[in-house]
Structure 1
């Protein structure tokens, strides 16, 4: 069998140049079936426009006087690509053409944009955005559940008539979602008389990285997906797309090997950049290219399957142009027209904006954010290291500051709840967002939302056995020295040492069940000098622990702790700490870059 790579259709001159406008109708399709063929094997050419991980990044970013992203320009980009695709015939394709627009999850994210949607009388801006894009189907990611299933239900109801596909989520026991007809395992899109099946999957790690409530997360991804594919095939659907949010494209590439009859896979959650030297990219992205677009995987029958994704934040639209024969088999991919298309106002990919999206979304959200940015709560005389690789793998002064805030908040409120004041606090690296360094200078309320946006609450767990506390730290250390795991623990009230040469904790990342304890945490010492772990051995005692309720309730596959929330959100805790405990000043002496020795990794 010839490979899909060898059948990539090169960029060739289209049959005529056509000026596109927003109101241009799609061209008529010839009625005679034989006239649909560009060559003897081409029966239908489908353009798949796709993105993932929009994560409420609705406002544009300016770099070197050029503008990137923003939902208004993204909407216009999708519209332009959609209508161009109907007209963009190349040799080897079919004159019978269709377009579908898909998304593979993480359709909103905590932060100031989301917070703008919570203002009285405001719409759910992410839902408004998705309606304006005009998706045919939406995947379900992990961030949809960060505020619990009820908020996800609000999004579903506000995104009019668009199905949300995920075959491994069972909503029946969750009252806020049960009965919502848009929540389906798969759907069929009809385009130009053709039936295109779309099957969805969501990461099995959902219970430990988000808050799905009583939604049951099924883990047999291959079996569940294949069951849906087979059901669609039996209904005569011979073009099937898998839309999955598995947190990394390697998971999708591996999954294909267990499936049959899937024609295209669109992954989400990993932010991989698939591009070549000719692709126009967002500044800085050229250093992080994962590979070419598309990736090619081989299914269980030996058939090659294109696998694609895009970086998030509405900065790119993916465009995959595939041609099918009469049997529904992929016989070609247009390598010239396919790829990720950067959303920008500069260069070859430049495009204008949707005035409707500007008026309905960008302008009110920008006004809300501007008001928060003008509310200054502190001044920092040091850069705070808040980048993802820092807070998720090494001690960072940004992590120290936030962990200190939650420890202080818990200690201030403990007596009011009849609780002991905790000696320590933990902050999971994945709970620190923003993912850029906080420059020295003013710190605004907007900055506190950017860093602590999830609306989790500070909680206290009393009398936690030292060994249990140690296994929380072990879970944070199990991927070291590789940085990037959201479970990595930033510390307050104690210091700890990790030796990566010792065995790591082995736990089910979907449930948190521990199979074998970790042995990497070799010492834990409280700030008052009390030793909790020495030479890898935990003392026989307990410790009172503060943290966010997500973490103490078993998030990130931590051991679950019985705890009491104290009614202060993550953002409120940080804002109050900056203004009250620190007197509005974050000093170099208290929070030096690189930390102060709270975490040692050997």
Structure 2
């Protein structure tokens, strides 16, 4: 049964007003919660996920499909069934301690695997219903198939879908569907939940003309004041705006108890090297400490946060960490039974025709890791076509990510997935010409050994001289396609680049993209989906070699 959107009447119960919890500033610059203020004796557990991106099945260490051999070796992670086990165990642990718990999702369940391609988000909602979520935020990818599809997802949810800064025109598909704010009773205490969705959704996804977005800080100031005026002082923000913006919100809006975040795929952990501290504390305008948490993405982790509240709703103690969903958590059998019939059509789908191919597309290791190759050109051009509306001019992908050739004739989705099996996603960012030059030079520095980092490109061409020593200027005459033709690469100019999430994160040694990339965004769109769409849009497809890498 779907959640009743009219069942969230706010409590009008009064509350005591006391000073907010004070902050002690450590020498490291991190904020520490002070325990000097009186507490209410109320403690709340929050189990949270974000950016699951349709990972209904378990995943590999690369956050992609888990192979049968990986599964046999117990080296898989996440998936809905394993997540269910983890949530149930941690709920029981909180209950043993006499602590109520909320189970929350900060958005972007949508997009990323064939489950979304096949079911449009309904499979993910079915898993969430079975696990028992209390609320879900709205991510930008929830709009990938337009507001009508999101409305159908909400109709099938047994929990409220919350975002208050989304404005919907009267009569549109989403009119009356989205829960603006929510108040839940736990042990007689009123917990307010506010949701915010990134306004960037207007160009990151497809919300349509009837949907607009209010500035998050402006909205939250109004909404927090409204809840406080109605006696609700413990207020959680279910946010899908990214870790950096969450920090700005915490510093700008008074009255927020904690922020449960998503969108930036931030790994927060107190035990993993290179991770952000869980929870990260930010001082509000009145000096209250606001914990911010996030749990990476792709169902690999779950967050488990415990909050101790003061009388004014301020958090006076926050503890917990992300939990790696590895083989320690056996997949729940009841969830596996739900998944099985959903999986069968997906396996059938891999046999579905995608496009007619006019000639063989060479994607062999020998060519794609040594120079220009037909599959490299095809994939790079497909990537550019997918984001052309964003003004991105250059595509860069690694030859090692291309795992097969494709024969002439009818190509199936299975063929496409054989070429691009890793579930890498399209990633956009901005880089200077100097950073791009460094990336190309790095990409060709081990051609002799057939290294997978070899750069396949679109919207760009260059000359490669293998007589030059590695990292000594093998790449020259780099040109970018401009409005009036080829233009020399300007080292000081900033260019829009589309690559894959693996390379953007420094994979294959492309550390310069990770360090020098600006305004990066993981679209969560699978490269295989991008290639399939490009082949279909251009059938009968004929591959080309056009001299973009000259030797």
Q: How many residues align?
A: 424
Conservation of the 8 A alpha-carbon contact between 2:394 and 2:480: no
Structure 2 CA distance for partners of 1:396 and 1:572, relative to 1, 3 Å: same
Alpha-carbon deviation of 1:476?
7.1
| Structure 1 SS opposite 2:305 | strand
User: 2:364 matched to 1:364?
Assistant: no
Please name the residue that 1:194 is paired with: 189
User: 2:540 matched to 1:574?
Assistant: no
Please name the residue that 1:272 is paired with: 266
Conservation of the 8 A alpha-carbon contact between 1:116 and 1:365: no
Conservation of the 8 A alpha-carbon contact between 1:384 and 1:439: no
Conservation of the 8 A alpha-carbon contact between 1:399 and 1:427: no
User: 2:251 matched to 1:261?
Assistant: no
Listed one character per residue, the Cα deviations across residues 512-545 of structure 1 (whole Å, up to 9, x for unaligned) are xxxxxxxxx986369xxxx5365799xxxxxxxx
Match of 1:340 among 308, 322, 336: 322
Please name the residue that 2:92 is paired with: 83
Correspondence 1:136-535 to 2 at 5 A = 136-160=134-158, 162-173=159-170, 175-180=172-177, 183-246=178-241, 248-277=242-271, 286=273, 289-334=274-319, 338-345=320-327, 350-361=328-339, 363-373=340-350, 380-382=363-365, 400-402=377-379, 404=381, 437-440=401-404, 445-446=413-414, 448=416, 477=430, 495=460, 524=481, 531-532=484-485
Alpha-carbon deviation of 1:251?
1.2
Alpha-carbon deviation of 1:252?
0.6
TM-score, length-normalised on structure 2?
0.65
How far apart are the structure 2 equivalents of 1:407 and 1:311?
Answer: 27
Correspondence 1:43-192 to 2 at 5 A = 43-61=41-59, 62=66, 63=70, 65-88=74-97, 97-109=99-111, 111-117=113-119, 124-160=122-158, 162-173=159-170, 175-180=172-177, 183-192=178-187
| Structure 2 SS opposite 1:179 | coil
Conservation of the 8 A alpha-carbon contact between 2:479 and 2:487: yes
How far apart are the structure 1 equivalents of 2:342 and 2:77?
Answer: 17
Alpha-carbon deviation of 1:218?
2.8
Conservation of the 8 A alpha-carbon contact between 1:404 and 1:425: no
Where structure 1 has 5 or more consecutive residues not aligned to the other structure, the ranges are: 10-38, 89-94, 280-285, 387-394, 410-423, 455-474, 484-489, 498-520, 538-556, 558-567, 583-588
Conservation of the 8 A alpha-carbon contact between 2:83 and 2:325: yes
Alpha-carbon deviation of 1:40?
6.9
How far apart are the structure 2 equivalents of 1:430 and 1:48?
Answer: 42
How far apart are the structure 1 equivalents of 2:533 and 2:488?
Answer: 38
How far apart are the structure 1 equivalents of 2:76 and 2:116?
Answer: 22
Alpha-carbon deviation of 1:374?
5.8
TM-score, length-normalised on structure 1?
0.60
Structure 2 CA distance for partners of 1:440 and 1:536, relative to 1, 3 Å: closer
Conservation of the 8 A alpha-carbon contact between 2:377 and 2:545: no
How far apart are the structure 1 equivalents of 2:399 and 2:183?
Answer: 37
Conservation of the 8 A alpha-carbon contact between 2:250 and 2:283: yes
Conservation of the 8 A alpha-carbon contact between 1:384 and 1:438: no
Structure 2 CA distance for partners of 1:480 and 1:164, relative to 1, 3 Å: farther
Listed one character per residue, the Cα deviations across residues 51-99 of structure 1 (whole Å, up to 9, x for unaligned) are 10011111112455422111111111111111211213xxxxxx5x210
How far apart are the structure 2 equivalents of 1:213 and 1:425?
Answer: 15
How far apart are the structure 1 equivalents of 2:263 and 2:397?
Answer: 15
Where structure 2 has 5 or more consecutive residues not aligned to the other structure, the ranges are: 1-21, 26-30, 60-65, 355-360, 437-455, 463-477, 491-518, 520-528
Conservation of the 8 A alpha-carbon contact between 1:315 and 1:342: yes
How far apart are the structure 2 equivalents of 1:355 and 1:430?
Answer: 46
Over the residues paired in the alignment, what is the CA RMSD in angstroms? Answer: 4.5
Conservation of the 8 A alpha-carbon contact between 2:363 and 2:374: no
How far apart are the structure 2 equivalents of 1:433 and 1:50?
Answer: 33
How far apart are the structure 1 equivalents of 2:119 and 2:82?
Answer: 20
Conservation of the 8 A alpha-carbon contact between 1:206 and 1:212: yes
